[in-house]
Amino acid sequence: MTIVRHELRLGKKAFVIWTASIGFLLVVCIFLYPEMKGQMDSISTMFSSMGSFTAAFGMDKLNFGTLVGYYAIECGNVLGLGGAFFSALCAVSILCKEEKDRTAEFLLTHPISRSKIVTEKLIAVLIQVTALNIIIFLLSVLSIAVIGESIPWKAISLLHLAFFFMQLELSGVCFGLSAFMRRGSLGVGLGLAFILYFMNLISNITESASFLKYITPFGYCEGGQITVDLSLE
């Protein structure tokens, strides 16, 4: 597991920055809820009359005035985009950097097979994505408890689980793309994550584009649908 430890050591700084950033934004959103709680009825009414914008973010399927509804929209978007960007960036350069930095020749001279190199690099990606989601989940639950609200365990757990699966799928795709690239690919990872997110918004807005939900992994982690049905598709 030497390569796993090496990759984790190299990615430690990025992991800490992304985890701290996403965690901080989620905690801020949760701590803002008590201040906004009294205004939620008027906010829900305002959002419900915004047509396509409401449908795009799934706000037509839930009550924004409840903690679950508020969390699914505000915190869901932070975790969805932030987690997608991190998982894409984490995976999209992990293989191609060996060729870009001219370290592939050095690595392949060691008594280790190519399949083991690829496997251990993939394990390193999965560990980082999993660790980020565990830390974020614990921060969210702790923040909800601190503000004095009862924790909706099932809804929150399913929501985080859905985003975790989405990040695994996206990191898997980016990991595969990394094998075919020779130079820096951070823009490819970020671009792919944003395009897939935008495709989900389009599929929510117009019925004729609903087939896009079968292409983008964001289609399977709709906060509104999950918190209402309390199940994953």
Between 182 and 122, the higher pLDDT residue: 122
Asked if 219 and 136 count as a contact pair (C-beta separation under 8 A), the reply is no
Domain boundaries, given as residue ranges, for the chain: 2-229
pLDDT digits over 106-154, tens only? 666 677 788 888 888 899 999 999 999 999 999 999 999 998 888 889 9
Between 17 and 61, the higher pLDDT residue: 17
Q: What is the pTM of this model?
A: 0.84
**What CA–CA distance (Å, rounded) separates 2 from 192?**
30
Range from 6-10, 32-36, 62-66 carrying the lowest mean pLDDT: 62-66
Distance (Å) of CA 211 to CA 128, 200, 204, 208: 31, 10, 10, 8
Give yes or no for residue 22 having a pLDDT over 80.
yes
Instruction: Provide the pLDDT confidence category of residue 88 given band limits of 50, 70 and 90.
Output: very high
pLDDT digits over 188-229, tens only? 888 888 899 888 888 877 777 778 888 888 888 887 778 777
Query: How many other CB atoms are there within 10 angstroms of residue 198's CB atom?
Result: 14
**What CA–CA distance (Å, rounded) separates 130 from 108?**
28
**Amino acid letter at 56?**
A
91: closest CA among 176, 182, 12, 19?
176
The whole-number pLDDT of residue 47 equals: 56
Please give the mean pLDDT across all residues of the chain: 82
Q: What does the pLDDT average to over 10-34?
A: 92
